[in-house]
Amino acid sequence: MSAESIPVPEPTPESAAERPLVDLEKLAELMPTGSMRLLVGGAMLISIIASFTEFGLHGRALVGAVLCPALVLLAAIDAKHRLLPNAIILPASLAIGLIVAASAPGAFLTHFVAGVALGGFFFLFGTIFAGSFGMGDAKLGFLLGLALGKQTFGAALIAFAGLLVAALYVLATRGAAARKDAIPFGPFLALGGLLAFFLS
């Protein structure tokens, strides 16, 4: 005589509505380790110091103190994991939005529109051409526009130029078989954002 079995419901994956928008546990797994952690941490610190050195005690320096280390960290994570975590982008966007609104309220609309324009472009392009840009790129585009305002277009041009050079290098070194290899766009967006911020 067999014992009566009690049905146990199979675990279901956590729904999107139940997942936290900012997953700090997942972020900890993505953080650089070893010598790369020291390198990235040093670059983040230097970028903060450079922002205050270049712009003094000004709202733009505060924007840079949030934007620049975030871009450095995002570039490192995307280069390795091909992910742009919400846990970095969303708090940075909120902080930069508040800083711009407080320090240059007359320019906030310009910055916001620039963010929507660049983020929207990446979103639409990624929707039409699957596998080109992801939601992370769109969110990072919004962050850049919000921080850079009128300098956003220059940052995007630098990013696309860098991506083109990288793609040509990959093709030249690995041949036509590498055409389908995905190149993370986050590091190029970060580079464009950093150069546009400090050189504008």
Phi, psi of 181 (to 5 degrees): -70, 130
> For residues 88 and 177, what is the distance between their CA atoms, to the nearest angstrom?
34
What proportion of the chain, given as a percentage, has pLDDT over 90?
69
Q: What is the chain's alpha carbon radius of gyration, rounded to the nearest angstrom?
A: 20
More confident residue, 151 or 10: 151
Query: Would residue 106 count as lying in a domain?
Result: yes
Query: Would residue 8 count as lying in a domain?
Result: no
- Total domains present in the chain: 1
Query: Would residue 193 count as lying in a domain?
Result: yes
- C-alpha distances in angstroms, 177 versus 82, 170, 172, 181, 182? 20, 10, 11, 8, 12
Average pLDDT score over the chain: 87
Q: Is the pLDDT of residue 2 over 70?
A: no
Query: Would residue 19 count as lying in a domain?
Result: no
Q: Is the pLDDT of residue 192 over 90?
A: yes
Query: Would residue 12 count as lying in a domain?
Result: no
Query: Would residue 189 count as lying in a domain?
Result: yes
The tens digit of pLDDT for each residue in 67-124 reads: 999 999 999 999 999 999 999 999 999 999 999 999 999 999 999 999 999 999 999 9
Query: Would residue 69 count as lying in a domain?
Result: yes
Query: What does the pLDDT read at residue 178?
Result: 62
- C-alpha distances in angstroms, 46 versus 4, 64, 137, 187? 66, 11, 25, 18
Question: Binning pLDDT at 50, 70 and 90, where does residue 170 land?
Answer: confident
What proportion of the chain, given as a percentage, has pLDDT over 70?
86
Name the residue range of residue 175's domain. 33-199
> For residues 176 and 137, what is the distance between their CA atoms, to the nearest angstrom?
26
Query: Would residue 184 count as lying in a domain?
Result: yes
pTM of the model: 0.84
The tens digit of pLDDT for each residue in 121-143 reads: 999 999 998 878 899 999 999 99
